[in-house]
């Protein structure tokens, strides 16, 4: 029986914990300004943290979707064109739907896993796996 307890403790240490919060997942809206021909997103790091994805991954997606070059400057993203916040918010929502939210339970508690070159979302809340159709 003691071996069972040790195995159980080991399993609990290896399992990723999902927060039991029942609050609704909300994306922060883009904050920033347009200066010259550049659009500055000042809360870019906060957006990436709320999505639990690397800033580089989100920036690459936005560059591809908006057809614009960009660079990350500490906590902000600089897009090399004039854009309104509604368009950027729309693309971030698309990113969340494709790369973050579970299609089965709708929770944002997912991770991106790669098996044999195929990327998929693995939901830590319900255990569902779904392929990612978008190629970055």
Look up the CATH number of the domain holding residue 94.
Answer: 3.30.30.170
Please check whether residue 44 is in contact with residue 72, taking contact to mean a CB–CB distance below 8 angstroms: yes
Residue 22 placed within a domain? no
Determine the pLDDT at residue 16: 65
Tally of CA atoms within 13 A in the half-sphere of 106 that contains its CB: 5
Determine the pLDDT at residue 38: 92
Residues 39 and 76 in one domain: yes
Count up the domains in the chain and report the number: 2
Global model pTM greater than 0.85: no
Residues 36 and 94 in one domain: yes
10 exposed, middle or buried (CB, 10 Å; 0-12, 13-18, 19+)?
Answer: exposed
Residues 45 and 93 in one domain: yes
Residues 33 and 91 in one domain: yes
Residue 54 placed within a domain? yes
Residues 106 and 84 in one domain: no
Determine the pLDDT at residue 19: 54
What gap in Å lies between CA 130 and CA 74, rounded to an integer? Answer: 33
Residue 92 placed within a domain? yes
Residues 55 and 108 in one domain: no
Residues 38 and 87 in one domain: yes
Residue by residue, pLDDT tens for the chain (136 residues) are 678 888 888 887 877 655 555 456 788 899 989 999 999 999 999 999 999 999 999 999 999 999 999 999 888 999 999 988 899 999 999 999 999 999 988 888 899 998 888 899 999 888 889 999 888 7
Residues 86 and 114 in one domain: no
Range of the domain at 131: 101-136
Residues 72 and 47 in one domain: yes
């Amino acid at each position: 029986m003691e071996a069972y307890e040790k195995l159980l403790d080991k399993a609990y240490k290896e399992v990723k914990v999902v927060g039991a919060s029942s609050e609704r997942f909300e994306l922060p809206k883009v904050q920033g300004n347009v200066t010259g021909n550049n659009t500055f997103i000042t809360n870019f790091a906060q957006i990436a943290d709320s999505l639990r994805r690397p800033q580089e991954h989100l920036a690459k997606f936005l560059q591809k979707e908006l057809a614009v070059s960009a660079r990350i400057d500490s906590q902000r993203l600089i897009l090399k064109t004039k854009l309104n916040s509604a368009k950027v918010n729309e693309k971030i929502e698309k990113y969340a739907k494709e790369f973050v939210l579970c299609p089965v339970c709708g929770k944002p508690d997912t991770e991106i896993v790669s098996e044999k070159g195929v990327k998929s979302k693995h939901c830590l809340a319900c255990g569902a796996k779904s392929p990612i159709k978008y190629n970055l």
